[in-house]
Chain A
Amino acid sequence: AQSVTQLDSQVPVFEEAPVELRCNYSSSVSVYLFWYVQYPNQGLQLLLKYLSGSTLVESINGFEAEFNKSQTSFHLRKPSVHISDTAEYFCAVSRGEYGNKLVFGAGTILRVKS
């Protein structure tokens, strides 16, 4: 079985500062890795994913995550955050393509302050 640990429940950061949201997973088989974002009063949206190939994946709004197999991590980073990045971020793993079951971490609330 797979499990996901998000080490920080909340991360406060000032606008334009860098941020890292940590995610570690455990699995006895190869997995696919995802980051989802949930803005207030909205559904979860896929931010970025790692399926195969390059271990560094990027989103269209400046976030990136690096798959590290040896450390079983998939940390999310952004070099300079904006107020609009305030949201809850969920790390998730699945054994297969998107259609397979997802196992989620507990979520990290990113609070960007001005």
Chain B
Amino acid sequence: GAVVSQHPSWVICKSGTSVKIECRSLDFQATTMFWYRQFPKQSLMLMATSNEGSKATYEQGVEKDKFLINHASLTLSTLTVTSAHPEDSSFYICSATTGLRVLRGLAGVSYEQYFGPGTRLTVT
């Protein structure tokens, strides 16, 4: 199946620094990537939708200047948490989707979201 990776899997940083999280689709081209945030024992909350080559669309209440998203290619999206603070500590998960399924040479239409394993961010 389609594989999405995230790097790093966990990161600890000091308050005030910036952290970049990468999300890669390993065997397919992702026209759209989503970034989620998950607090302990809570739902995944969508932060933003990222389309390749265009600006990300942020959900209400998400600071776009704080959470910078770049989707420069069809296989890579990055989330940069700028000037991180302890309240930004969370589990960040990305997903990727494509309008055309090209896995294993099979042609078809698939819009399924494929999820990465997540990145645990701790800000001290």
- A and B found bound together: yes
Q: Chain A interface (Cβ within 8 Å of chain B)?
A: 4, 9, 36, 41-46, 90, 97-99, 101-107
Say yes or no: is B67 at the interface (Cβ < 8 Å to chain A): no
Contact status of A99 and B97, CB under 8 A, knowing A4-B43, A9-B41, A106-B43: yes
Number of A-B contacts (CB under 8 A): 50
Interface size on B, residues (CB 8 A): 24
How far, in angstroms, from A99 to B36 measured CA to CA in the complex? 14
Cross-chain contact B111 with A42 (CB below 8 angstroms): no
**Measured between C-beta atoms, what is the minimum distance from A5 to chain B in Å?**
10
Cross-chain contact B43 with A105 (CB below 8 angstroms): yes
Cross-chain contact A45 with B46 (CB below 8 angstroms): no
Cross-chain contact A102 with B46 (CB below 8 angstroms): yes
Cross-chain contact A104 with B44 (CB below 8 angstroms): yes
